Chain A
Amino acid sequence: MEPFKNKYCIVGVGNTNYGTNPGLSQVGHNVKAIRAAAEDAGLEMSEVNGVLTKAPSSTFPMLWGPRVSEALGIVPKVTATIDQAGASNISLVMYAMIAIELGQADVIACVYGDNPRTGYRDNYKQPRGANAFAGLFGAPLGYANIARRHMELYGTTPEQLGNVAVAHRHHASMNSNAHYQESITLDDYHNSRWIAEPFHLLDCTPVSDSGAAWIITTEERAKQLKQKPIYIEGLGQGNPSWDFATRDDMTVSGAKIASEGVFRTAQMNPSDMDFCQFYDCFTIVPIVTLEDYGFVNKGEGAAFFEDKRTWIGGELPINTSGGLLSETGMPGPQLIVEATRQLRHQYAGTERQVEGAEVGLVSQQGGIMTTHGAMILSNQG
């Protein structure tokens, strides 16, 4: 894979209030996030000529792109909804770049928004296929099976899972828009109720109302806009298997395959990353992700989360806004928004800023480690 021929940039990001937000509909979260991103970029709504969406998980409506566009009062040239569950968000970026490259549109808004906390959320606990009779409901049970296997193979401990929850909550404690901002200790982690052993409640992402958007355009156009352009340097994708139980090694995620694409297109290595924003729907996931991208050897991911090495100010800050575990249970877009803000140095002068950050890695994941998206962003061009 060659580096990208032309450069594309994230020029605007926006989000709604994360957490419990009964005043905003599903459409509302999408519209408000895109309007905030356009405002951030210094774009008029009429200049946005593409709208790409991931369908809200809670109801999975059809034709969501046109629905959101109409509520934005625009008639875009391009709309599409991509389904790779959580991994969709990076595929929206890929589709946006293709659409611009092929001359179909030049300012494209990517968005996700949903209100499962105050609205409908039954989709989250649906049984999965023939597994219903066995009592396998929802995503936590699938991921807990993976965590147990990882603990057996590599000696990963409950304390090490807890470290991930504590670290991400620490970052959320500096984030006034995070769903959960109160710092937690390992004791709090151990005392939180069991969901499915080995997972406590604090191993799991909450259900949150949220919306977030990011706007993509060409480098040329980006340079005329309000914000420092954030460059899309690399993309990768991996789709190891549909069913977690049938995967050869269920402790290996799509990040293993996606890492090849993302580091080759960016022509970079893990050591070039100043921070990571990892999809962290459950505590085991950033551990596995760190291993599968090659930051550490397989089985050594959990140890990396010890001694505050992943805290801002540490060796490799991870999930600097609190991630899915604490900022919002929204499936992924918050990580793209946060990476962009870190690379703009938007938190400069506060403890939230990763000092001197130039390059960051974002991962997104769908299903029970079913599908994976990777993206490297930089502020260098």
Chain B
Amino acid sequence: MSFSVSEDRAKLLAEPTELDQPFWDGLAEGKLRLQYCCSGFQYPFETFCFKCGSDDVSWRDASGEGEVHTFVTVHQRYHAAFADILPYNVSVIELDEGLRIVSNVINIDTDDVKIGMRVKVSPQPAGDGRYALFFEKA
């Protein structure tokens, strides 16, 4: 049950920008690198802090660990790039740092995903030397 990102799906991956390049660099190193300011980690990324408004936002590696906060198993064919992997899991992951990120738990039968299940970041190659964000059971 080894997971790989299809060519069609890789096309949906957002292009890196000057702003979020550290995030992509982190994934390539197997890490979850996020913005950090007064209130802790921040996602999605911006040029300023959502809490204090400061432009002085830095980057730090998060633990990359957390748990499944909630999830769905998608059966409907919304997009051709997912047609071959139906039904697939979409999960809201609550990181140990408190942030929530929408992602997928991979390398698991969709029926075995549970709320509260411990997961860890598991970046996967997505073509052109790039890596995409996924999680797997910890």
Contact = CB atoms under 8 A, between A and B. Distances in A.
Contacts of B101: 245
Interface in B67-91: 69-76, 78-79, 82, 87-88, 90
A250 B104 CA distance: 19
A246 interface: yes
Interface stretch (B9-17, B32-40, B56-64): B9-17
Contact of A197 (B73, B103, B104): B73
Contacts of A134: 90, 102-104
B72 A137 contact: no
Closest 3 CB pairs between A and B?
A137-B78, A194-B75, A149-B70
A140 interface: yes
B119 interface: no
Interface in A306-359: none
A145 B72 contact: yes
8 contacts: A129-B44, A138-B78, A145-B71, A148-B70, A149-B69, A196-B76, A197-B72, A250-B69
Interface of B: 9, 12-14, 44, 69-76, 78-79, 82, 87-88, 90, 92, 100-104, 115, 132-133
Nearest to A125: B78
Contact of B14 (A130, A137, A195, A245): A130
Nearest to A244: B92
A156 to B, nearest CB: 13
A44 interface: no
B72 A196 contact: yes
Q: How large is the interface on A (under 10, 10 to 19, 20 to 34, 35 or more residues)?
A: 20 to 34
Contacts of A199: 72
Contacts of B115: 148-149, 152
Nearest to A152: B115
Contact of B100 (A146, A148, A194, A246): A246
A105 B130 CA distance: 58
Contacts of B70: 145-146, 148-149, 152, 250
A131 B79 CA distance: 13
B79 A135 contact: yes
A361 B4 CA distance: 50
Contact of A135 (B13, B69, B104): B104
B93 to A, nearest CB: 9
A136 B90 contact: yes
A197 B79 contact: no
Given A141-B74, A194-B75, A197-B75, 20 more contacts: A125-B79, A130-B102, A132-B12, A133-B9, A133-B13, A133-B14, A134-B90, A135-B82, A136-B90, A148-B70, A148-B71, A149-B70, A194-B76, A196-B72, A196-B73, A196-B74, A197-B72, A199-B72, A246-B100, A250-B69
B44 A130 contact: yes
A140 B104 CA distance: 17
Contacts of B74: 135, 141, 195-196
B79 A145 contact: no
A198 interface: yes
A34 interface: no
A133 B12 contact: yes
Interface string A163-200: 00000000000000000000000000000011111110
A213 B76 CA distance: 33
Nearest to A149: B70
Given A134-B102, A145-B71, A127 B12 contact: yes
Contacts of A198: 72
B29 to A, nearest CB: 19
Contact of A195 (B71, B76, B82): B76
A144 interface: yes
B100 A127 contact: no
B105 to A, nearest CB: 11
A198 B89 CA distance: 12
A343 B103 CA distance: 46
Given A133-B132, A134-B103, A134-B104, A148 B90 contact: no
B19 to A, nearest CB: 12
A199 B78 CA distance: 15
Contacts of A133: 9, 12-14, 132-133
Nearest to A194: B75
A140 B76 CA distance: 10
Nearest to B126: A133
Interface string A111-138: 0000000000000010101111111111
Most buried by B among A125, A131, A246: A246
A131 B102 contact: yes
Interface string A357-374: 000000000000000000
